[in-house]
Amino acid sequence: MRTTLAIQDALLRKAREESVKRNCSISEVIEDALRASLTARPKSGRPARTRPLKTFRGTGVQAGVDLDASSALLELMEGR
């Protein structure tokens, strides 16, 4: 697919130099670099941290509350 990108001059020069070294097109160099960047692991070598699940004090769902009935839940929340 053809597309237009704005690339810094110094970076484009390095890509050109790499394409000459590898005897391939600049497009191939950029595709390889992009592919490597998108599949790279975190630099620390360990998986990315997951955020802890926020929980709140309580004993769970109140008796008689049906979480599948949104209108009943709304009425309960509004105090009807």
Tens digits of per-residue pLDDT, 63-77? 777 878 888 878 877
The DSSP letter of residue 77 is H
> What is the Cα–Cα distance from 39 to 31, expressed in whole angstroms?
12
**pLDDT for residue 42:** 63
Up-side HSE of residue 43: CA atoms within 13 Å toward CB?
1
Give the max Cα distance, the chain: 75
pLDDT digits (tens, 9 = 90+) for 17-66: 999 999 999 999 999 999 998 887 666 666 777 888 777 777 777 777 78
Which pTM does this prediction carry?
0.49
**pLDDT for residue 41:** 67
The DSSP letter of residue 46 is S
Instruction: Tell which wins on pLDDT, 39 or 11.
Output: 11
**pLDDT for residue 14:** 96
> What is the Cα–Cα distance from 34 to 19, expressed in whole angstroms?
15
Q: Which residue ranges make up each domain of the chain?
A: 8-42
